[in-house]
Structure 1
């Protein structure tokens, strides 16, 4: 079958792909559900890869929770084949109801497939619209400015260790969803419409409708997010610098850092990073518990060893020691330096 030409990378996206992917070895993996956003991302990524002499691999997760899922995976495989893009369907062998469980399974499957392909980055199709929706959802939940800055262009995959750390790259955060649909129409490509995207039982659907009815609100949110993102970049880069300069990983997997921890809001983020690294867990910590422990660390002479998020936090000789509450497997311990390096990369926002 004759391979079709992929759409040209839209103006402004080349730099985004370069920043997220250029120095990463191995193929660039793209998570593709069959929806318009992810299909457009796949075709744009394939064109970028061709200009850079890189390989692309499409990954589709079949959760087995909807009867249409298998057909949607075949739909993606057929489109990938027409463009000469390798494709894999990843099946959740023991599907369980619940969005959180499905999300964890999806990330585990995607990360494992990326590692098998020799890659450490997975591109996802979060758009400018997703960012605006996320702002309202987080604002309603009481998020502070750091969370309201929105979805980040690069983050550590929430897939649980062991294994090589995998990063999630989001090159389309400045691209409107409508522009991606237009690109697919221009090239005669259809896409899958998930019926849940029209179900008002989901908060994101209700928020999406609110923004569609008030375009001016969308503009105001994106303007504010742009400013908050600049502040977050400064905070995250400072955290990356601290992780690089001050955090020591011991052969047994323990982490040590000098006291005091970074000042202000960065104290809690620094502590959360150490706990995540030592415990091997990726789930967010309860903010109230993290805040209390971070405050206690400001008075190290009275701090007794404390546990949080699967880690033991203690002070010894003016240094903070963080270790796993329960013993980690040797491969998990050996992966901690790589996870630290990946965390620094994610904080820096580029590879």
Structure 2
């Protein structure tokens, strides 16, 4: 198992928790730190993490992005690619990240402002498929601290006599998350209401995701050439859109979500199979043949990408189920 550790308080606390877990169970843990090369302090922070990991007997790797490029979206994609590749090299299919209860509350307000529906407002998920692009064995992101407040993790570090790094960007109001964090700090009652609502939404999402996992397991046929077939009609409502999105992602080998408006339009067209002509979306071709939905890659996939689809399907089912 691998742990993503930046040097901040959340991820360092997760590293200590993982080290204790591994020691009591005789398991291996590897710490991974990404140096994007965008801040001069990053190299020193990676060395700081390496020193702490060494004290706890945990192997550590610093992953460098070469060449660094400006832009948060690019840096995020590069981070996931580097972490996934390192996890595979370490023989792990799970990377733990230190998202906390506070991150979930902040995410609620950010997504609400962006117009997210109830499914997104349910928050960060405890288990999800890494957005790293194939090829390679699918990697899952585990988030065991979603019920833990950020302050409790800082208290844990203090009791252990450990310090942590404070990223200056966490105080920069130019970032929306920083502004949202300040709003929640000033209004604890708002934070409590958000978390209570998220708990209810999370229960609903778990039911929806488990139903999708059951559908993917029972009804989807995977062909040797990488094509996928599914019976019609698709599951009702929003679940049908998510089912279609899952088939498109599997067939195309892409991890970026398709546009929700385009997905909704195509999902409505699929409900009228007699008039549906083959359509393309997200790098996949969607067609109806003999009352079954067929989804194939728009452009030919490399053999290793085709061979990885069964494992990717299994990982998607695991993520939807919410447990390993």
Question: Which TM-score band applies after superposition, normalised by the shorter structure?
Answer: over 0.9
Partner residue, 2:19: 46
Question: Is 1:189 aligned with 2:162?
Answer: yes
Distance 2:297 2:125 in 1: 28
After TM superposition, what 4+ stretches of structure 1 lie above 4 angstroms from structure 2? none
Shift in Å, 1:215: 0.2
Distance 2:258 2:280 in 1: 12
Cα offset for 1:262?
Answer: 0.6
Q: Aligned-pair distance for 1:49?
A: 1.2
- Residue 278 of structure 2 corresponds to which residue in structure 1? 305
1:96 aligns with 2:69: yes
Q: Note the alpha carbon deviations across 1:74-94, whole angstroms, 9 max, x for none.
A: 000000011111000001011
Offset at 1:288? Answer: 0.3
Q: Map Cα deviations across residues 192-242 of structure 1 (whole Å, 9 max, x no partner).
A: 000000000000000000000000000000000000000000000000000
Using the TM superposition, give the Cα deviation of residue 270 of structure 1 relative to its aligned residue in structure 2, in angstroms.
0.1
What is the aligned partner in structure 2 of residue 128 from structure 1?
Answer: 101
Aligned-residue offset at 1:284 = 1.0
What is the rounded CA distance, in whole Å, between the counterparts of 1:237 and 1:197 in structure 2?
A: 35
- State the TM-score, normalizing by the size of structure 2: 1.00
- How many Å separate the matches in 2 of 1:259 and 1:250? 17
Residues 23-44 of structure 1: per-residue CA shift (max 9 Å, x gap): xxxxx10000000000000000
Describe the SS at the equivalent of 2:23: helix
User: C-alpha separation between the residues in 1 aligned to 2:234 and 2:24?
Assistant: 44
Q: TM-score, normalised by structure 1?
A: 0.92
Distance 1:209 1:284 in 2: 30
Structure 1 residue matching 2:2: 3-state secondary structure:
strand
Match of 1:320 in 2: 293
Q: Secondary structure at the match of 1:164?
A: coil
The alpha carbon displacement at 1:167 in A equals 0.1
User: How many angstroms does 1:349 deviate by?
Assistant: 0.1
Any idea what SS the aligned residue of 2:237 has? coil
2:81 partner SS: helix
Question: Quick one: distance in 1 between partners of 2:67 and 2:41?
Answer: 17
Instruction: Give CA-to-partner distance per residue, 1:110-135, whole Å, 9 cap, x none.
Output: 00000000000000000000000000
Structure 1 unaligned regions, length at least 5: 1-27
Instruction: Report the Cα distance in structure 2 between the residues aligned to 1:198 and 1:327, rounded to whole angstroms.
Output: 46
- CA distance in 2 between counterparts of 1:110 and 1:270 reads 27
* Whole-angstrom distance in 2 between the partners of 1:332 and 1:73: 33
Structure 1: distance between partners of 2:44 and 2:11: 16
CA-to-partner distance for each residue in 1:290-314, whole Å, 9 max, x for gaps? 0000000000000000000000000
The separation in 1 between residues aligned to 2:122 and 2:5, in whole angstroms, is 25
